[in-house]
Structure 1
Amino acid sequence: MSAENLILNGDFSQGETHWRIYLPPGTGASAEIRDGYCQVQNDASVDQSVLLEVGKYRLAFEGLFPDTTGSYVNLALELSGYRQQIAVRGGDDYSPYALSFTVTDVDSNGKDIFTLGLVGKLTGGKYRNVTLSLAANN
């Protein structure tokens, strides 16, 4: 049995639903979500925020970036103060990425705000199969 994916529409099958797209003015940035992937380039970003409880979580995704562009995935936990960037590698096929992190601080409702940003630099590339699951309760 697989763990519940806490990222809504992490397979991008519902287009832009649950995702926010940011295109900085004057940069030529573009973002497209279709056919099970999100393509970003020229400083475009696509993000989503999720409320998480105390516990250990695992984020996983795949990236296809033909060139080494400086593109990355940005993670942030507002109350726990956690910040992390995962640089994506260039290559001819999708590469898997995974990272575990722990939520330690929550508000009076028992939640912390987790924000995930998929960022494309220069020629950019594609993200797909974005999952976030609870690995263990504390």
Structure 2
Amino acid sequence: MRKVLMLMILGLCACKKEDASTPHRSFYGKWVYTAAINKQYTVSQGDTAYDRIDTLHYNGADYIEFTQNRLALRFNGTTHRTDSLLFEEVTPVFFHLDSLLCQATYISDSTLQYNSLDFRYDQSPLVKISQTFYWLKK
């Protein structure tokens, strides 16, 4: 019994130590888009079939600004239009942009990489997925 109790205490200490050393980076601020890869595919019974893969390189005018008041302002340099998106930070890595679930795969003081997932269902047994991987810089 003592051995089990000792292992539990050591396990708790190890978890606390790991959590304290994990740095938390913030999404907040203005990020300029540099590139994106959009993948559209279907999944049926575990098989994935890609319909389309597009790569986009931005000219440095497109950006997104994550604000503290639950909004993300996305500026399109081609149309000179700013869209307001509802922004909700769910965890230090997952966030919502309107109805899209996004995951930050890498974040530093000057670089943000995230991807978004959009699932669409229709009358067919296929799940249609659109996933975009974004690269941004400050």
User: What is the TM-score normalised by the length of structure 2?
Assistant: 0.28
Q: Looking at CA atoms only, which structure, 1 or 2, has the larger radius of gyration?
A: 2
The structure whose residues are more often strand, as a share, is 2
Give the helix-richer structure, 1 or 2: 2
Task: Tell me which of the two structures has the higher relative contact order, counting C-alpha pairs closer than 8 angstroms and 6 or more residues apart.
Answer: 1
